[in-house]
A and B are shown apart, each in its own frame.
Chain A
């Protein structure tokens, strides 16, 4: 199993190729072809990081996010993915070069509000307003972008809210208007925050692992699923019985079963249930005095 990708999949949604380039270099991503009807460019690495270039605007961000969500995770099909929208934004007062996490997302067009959950160490957080056209007046004490609300609405339907985050680099403000944002500035913004971005991606993946790893079926369960014919209901039962055995420290019994499976799924489930009753009564120490 050593060739399997172990950690949770991290999906990065980026609006522009100029924003994607520094991430592709920093994270060692390679082209993974085009996906979706719109033909979004994707990149990935063997560690389980995937990046999609959505194009500008919240509709494009939502469509690209959904396209990325549909890509299979062959190694761990039951995993929930970790999502990060990363890119540049304007801000009324934050200096160019600073970074922020979104703690409140406002869709300026619809008025819809989202609250990304703050769980991880990272830069300071603030309100982010998604607008349809580049904001030059900065009317609120907030950051402004054109994708995050579309991204968040799409990504939150793909898994736990806590695994969906938005990270922005401030590229413009009233003193440094959008016209002065160019290729060189974007490259510098990402380069300056390279360590912070990588650390945040790592922390976010760890959070994903906290969610996914306890839910992954053991290799023994995978083997049993392949070796016996089972109904969907029996497969669910087997997965839960496997989790219970593992939680009670009885993995060796599970491995023994996988090596020599009973003749039928029914027999398998019955013997696991019987073993669990005895194991539960013995307790985790195996003491059967009680």
Chain B
């Protein structure tokens, strides 16, 4: 799972660190001063590291809960995001994290209590705030090791006015299924069509397995949501999305979905340039692109493709359930 475990000196005696180290006695345990001396080093190669990433156990300082960018998420009320982890177990070729970080190592911040405290402060002052987990990582993929969701869910059980979105492509939902569902905790699963997933979403559970996990969560009473990001059109146009939506409609009660969102492939141009350097041989990045306001998107032959996709989507879900990602 990991090539090594690095431990920040500050957390070496943290009980959570001890627990994780005992779980992986065969791995090298290497002490460092601050996680940045590994994670933020220049001249690292994300692509090479992704073959065998290490786990870095660290303490997160400063602001742990941050306001979301304008237009992010499903509510117009105050939105915040937090990341107990940096980087993702999966290896999606289109992922912006490859452009954002110098390193493919996973950083797990073990000071969960500090996250809890700052979330509580926001909950006390912000009515109906929405908190997003999974911006800088997959929220559930490392749950068997981190136990972060198990730790944080009781806070949301005690604060039903606050909403939590757990965004994931993981099928690690056993712990959720063993708990009572919370109406204010939304499990949002991301999907791309089958062929795209097989081609670009390395190490990600299959679409069938993800749908199965969502189905179980929905049956257990958890609010579930669908995220179509990034929407990318190939030579077959909308057909792969038709098939995907049919698969989802066959398994889930779409009318009961908490929300559905879609967003085109887009990322800051600086990140995109870095991706191109990492993967000069990747067909996805050989496509023509459009750069506007510092963001790069894929050029498509049909400028109405996204609108056509939305029309297809809205044949399955109500307009009130849908929002387009900014």
Contacts and interface: CB of A to CB of B under 8 A. Distances in A.
Q: Do A and B come from one complex?
A: yes
A193 to B, nearest CB: 19
A211 B281 contact: no
A185 interface: no
Interface in A50-84: none
B37 A125 contact: no
B30 A160 contact: no
Nearest to B31: A104
Interface residues of B, number: 38
Which of under 10, 10 to 19, 20 to 34, or 35 or more describes the interface residues of A?
35 or more
Given A160-B44, A162-B45, A162-B49, A290 B234 contact: yes
A115 B38 contact: yes
Interface in B1-18: 3-4, 6
B285 to A, nearest CB: 7
Given A113-B37, A119-B52, A161 B235 contact: no
A277 interface: yes
A247 B44 contact: no
B70 interface: no
A246 B51 CA distance: 24
A119 B283 contact: no
Nearest to A119: B52
Contact of B286 (A157, A161, A276): A276
Contacts of A211: 45, 47-48
A280 B4 contact: no
B53 to A, nearest CB: 9
Contacts of A276: 286, 288
Nearest to B50: A119
Given A126-B28, A280-B287, A290 B236 contact: yes
Nearest to A157: B43
A194 interface: no
Nearest to A243: B280
Interface of B: 3-4, 6, 28, 30-33, 37-38, 41, 43-45, 47-49, 51-52, 54, 233-237, 276, 279-283, 285-288, 299, 301-302
24 contacts: A103-B4, A103-B30, A113-B32, A113-B33, A115-B6, A117-B44, A117-B48, A118-B4, A124-B28, A127-B30, A161-B41, A163-B48, A240-B276, A243-B281, A247-B280, A247-B283, A280-B287, A280-B299, A284-B235, A287-B235, A288-B235, A290-B233, A290-B236, A290-B237
